[in-house]
Amino acid sequence: MMNYFKNTAISGSDLAGCRTPAEFYQRKYLHKTKEADYFDIGTSAHAFILQPQEFNKMIVVANDFPDKDKINKDGTFSKIGANGIYLNSIKDQYPDKIVFEPVIYQNVIDYAESVKKIPGFDDFINLETGFAEREVFAEDKETRLKLKGRIDYGKKKKFLADLKFCKSISDRDLAYDFRDYEYHLRAAFYLDLYNLTTGEDLNTFIYVCIEKSENPIARFLKLSELDVNAGREMYRVRLNTIAECYRSGEWILNSIENFQCPEWIYNKQTNF
C-alpha cells in the first residue's frame, strides 16, 4: 500500500487555486506546507465522523496548563510565558499527534455532533454501506500524468461526498469559498478519478458544509452539472499545461501573465 502523502502524484488540492504552472511547481515541489490549527480542527472532526476508531488515537488533550487563570475570550489559554512553554513541550512530546486545548477539543466534538445528530445522517453516511477516506491512484489517459485523490466518503453508484468546515455557510460566504478554494474543480477531479479507477459513471458530488460557530449548522449541497463541468474544464486545462511544462522543461514562459494596473490606482494625484 503506497503512502498517500509521500506519493508524488498530482492531487486536486495541488491544482486548485493555482494561477500558473510556476505557482503549481513551487507549491508542489519547493514549499513544505505546515498545517495550521484550523486544519487540525477539520482533520479531527473528519475523523470523528468518518473514522471514529481512529479519532482518539490521533489526539492529545493538553490539560495541565500552569497558569489556568490566564484565559482568552474564546476560552483558550494565554500562550504567554509558562503556558506557551507547556503547550510547546506537549507538541514536542507527541509530534505525530494533534494537540488540542480542552475548549478546542470540545469544539471539535460539537462541530461533528451537530451534523451527526441530524435525523437521517446515519443512513446518509453509513460506514457499513459506503466507504470513507478512500485513496485512489491512476494515470491520466490524456497527459499520462500520475494522479491521486483521497475521497472523504462515497456510496457505490450513488454519490461522492466531502466534508468542509467553514467559517460561515451563508450563500455569499460559500460562494467566496468556492471562488477562492475552487471546490468545483476538486469535485470534478474526484469524480473523474473515481470513475477512472472503478469504471463507474458517477456524476453526483455533495458537499457537507459545517459552520464553525457556537451553534454549528450544516448544509448539504449537491453540486450542479454546470459547476462540475466548469471545474472539469479548469482542471483539464491545468493538467494539459503542466504536462507540456514537464515535456519542455520550461515552466516560466508558460507562466508569464498579462497584467494591467487597475484604474483606481491612478485616482490619486501623482504630479509633483
pLDDT(32) > 90: no
Q: Is 272 or 10 the better-scoring residue by pLDDT? A: 10
Torsion angle defined by CA atoms of residues 17, 105, 57 and 81, in that order, rounded to the nearest 10 degrees: 90
What single-letter amino acid sits at 203? N
Q: Which of 199, 170, 200, 189 is nearest to 227 (CA)?
A: 189
Name the region of 16 (left: φ>0; alpha: ψ -120 to 50; beta: rest): beta
State the pLDDT confidence band at 3, using cuts at 50, 70 and 90.
confident
Instruction: State the pLDDT at residue 270.
Output: 61
Torsion angle defined by CA atoms of residues 123, 126, 128 and 132, in that order, rounded to the nearest 10 degrees: 160
pLDDT(1) > 50: no
Residue pair 10/239 in contact (Cβ under 8 Å)? The answer is yes
Chain centre to alpha carbon of residue 131: 18
Instruction: State the pLDDT at residue 230.
Output: 97
- Residue 88 to residue 76: CA distance in whole angstroms: 15
Grid cell listed for 247: 515535456
β-strands 146-155, 205-211 pairing: unpaired
Per-residue pLDDT reduced to its tens digit, 111-124 = 999 999 999 999 99
Task: Identify the CATH number of the domain defined by range 12-58+97-247.
Answer: 3.90.320.10
- Residue 42 to residue 163: CA distance in whole angstroms: 9
Per-residue pLDDT reduced to its tens digit, 206-248 = 999 999 888 889 999 999 999 999 999 999 999 999 999 999 9
pLDDT(37) > 80: no
Q: Give the mean pLDDT of the chain.
A: 92
Sign of CA dihedral 21, 238, 185, 33: negative
Going through the chain in order, the beta strands assigned E by DSSP cover 59-61, 98-100, 131-139, 146-155, 159-166, 205-211, 218-222
Give me the residues paired with residue 209 across strands: 164, 219
What average pLDDT score do residues 46-72 get? 92
Q: Which of 188, 212, 152, 156 is nearest to 12 (CA)?
A: 188
What average pLDDT score do residues 135-157 get? 96
State the pLDDT confidence band at 33, using cuts at 50, 70 and 90.
low
pTM: 0.86
Instruction: State the pLDDT at residue 34.
Output: 53
- Residue 218 to residue 120: CA distance in whole angstroms: 13
Q: Give residue limits of the domains in the chain.
A: 12-58+97-247
Q: Is 2 or 191 the better-scoring residue by pLDDT? A: 191
